[in-house]
Structure 1
């Protein structure tokens, strides 16, 4: 702070916090500010984060089985739509939506049809694995969820959007097989090259109320590969559909 010619009050003004907040940082070396405040403070002071808060850097370096866990959300709806958008935009070889309805993505991503079309034209493989809207598991799930917008309706909305997008070489759509439908409805896997968003569906909860894990592949046989293999197995036994 002396090198940057900043007092606690001036630093607080620069990063948009109360002066007492900066004073607490100075008084307690173990206190770890929010990530955004750390970034803003380091920018104002023109230093690297590991110089001021080495603990924050150390905690980000994972060496165990959890190193592929980029982020965890208690609810799928808590994951910002911008995260989905960035993963979709960054994927160049494989986009795989293996949710049971995949309904929400058409609502949350602006101009999603045009985005997917550009991806396909550029050589990216785009796949949608859906539940059978007329299947027995779909009817059972509708009774469990008991919501106005039924599971079958949400699937048909996805099919309607896919119909507007296709047919295109590079776009593939399948229904999970009747034998795999229970496994499919209980776990959604969304893959974007080496990133995946995974939602295990809890009891009677609909997808947006269930937790979500953001995984980033770091090597063979990790968490990413386990979930990716699950989705691929369902895909291999799925029933091809024509949009």
Structure 2
């Protein structure tokens, strides 16, 4: 059975299978099945596609309402990725580029961002110049918790060197209005990448490098939700972190 509501919404916005698939982070064949076979995507994917089209997700896929009654799903969950390695870097950078008020980054190193997107510092400068508050917390390479993480992930001193490399990448931002850089020595349970009311959470799994651990994409939906829990966690770590001094 064809999904005529979805077909009409795509036609009204000029969306093709390929362009909607790119936004929903799926294969174009999946979108084709939604339209022509009436297939229902996973809830996170459906939410992302519906938001892209400016439609109510339950109007496009009524079966999702029934599924939710059988299994509770947070309305703040946009998407869940099995591994960070499966998430395109553009998902991080595009989200950060949309920020108007807040950019918060909490990691040990996450040098994959600078390696895959050399314009990251330029992007953060642009956000700060537009009035955005940018806070970046990277791991203190000398801390016991960073050293222990290297042992747990069988990465040895690699994590410590990557913390130093991350700090080197971010140092050119020191002293710019609206941008703060700190180092923290906490046990990092999750790496957090926030842009206003959106958040990418890279969960950490014992013995697994961050690129092999899951990522969930959250969008804030009122007070007291999962988003606010992680935002409060960032603030708690930030309060313990040490400002990086200019050399």
TM-score (norm 1): 0.73
Matches of 2:189 and 2:183, distance apart in 1: 15
SS in 2 for 1:67: coil
**1:79 maps onto 2:87 in alignment:** yes
Change (3 A) 1:55 1:94: closer
Change (3 A) 1:33 1:219: closer
Answer with 1 or 2: which has the greater Rg. Answer: 1
Superposed, 1:90-239 pairs within 5 Å as: 90-147=98-155, 150-177=158-185, 181-182=186-187, 185-239=188-242
Q: Which runs of 5+ in 1 are unaligned?
A: 2-13, 40-47
Q: Which runs of 5+ in 2 are unaligned?
A: 3-15, 19-27
Question: 1:49 offset after TM fit, Å?
Answer: 8.8
Matches of 1:101 and 1:91, distance apart in 2: 22
Determine if contact 1:49/1:57 at 8 Å carries over to the other structure: no
Matches of 2:77 and 2:127, distance apart in 1: 26
Q: Which residue of 2 aligns with 1:7?
A: none
Deviations 1:111-158 (A, max 9, x none): 111111111122111111111101111111122222377111111111
Change (3 A) 1:49 1:125: closer
Q: Which has the higher contact order (CA 8 A, sep 6+)?
A: 1
Question: 1:202 offset after TM fit, Å?
Answer: 0.5
TM-score (norm 2): 0.72
Determine if contact 2:182/2:243 at 8 Å carries over to the other structure: yes
Q: How many residues align?
A: 209
Determine if contact 2:92/2:193 at 8 Å carries over to the other structure: no
Determine if contact 1:65/1:222 at 8 Å carries over to the other structure: no
Matches of 1:69 and 1:231, distance apart in 2: 19
Deviations 1:181-220 (A, max 9, x none): 12xx221111111000112200111111100110000100
Change (3 A) 1:109 1:57: farther
Matches of 1:165 and 1:175, distance apart in 2: 14
Q: Which residue of 2 aligns with 1:42?
A: none
Q: Which residue of 1 aligns with 2:23?
A: none
Change (3 A) 1:149 1:56: farther
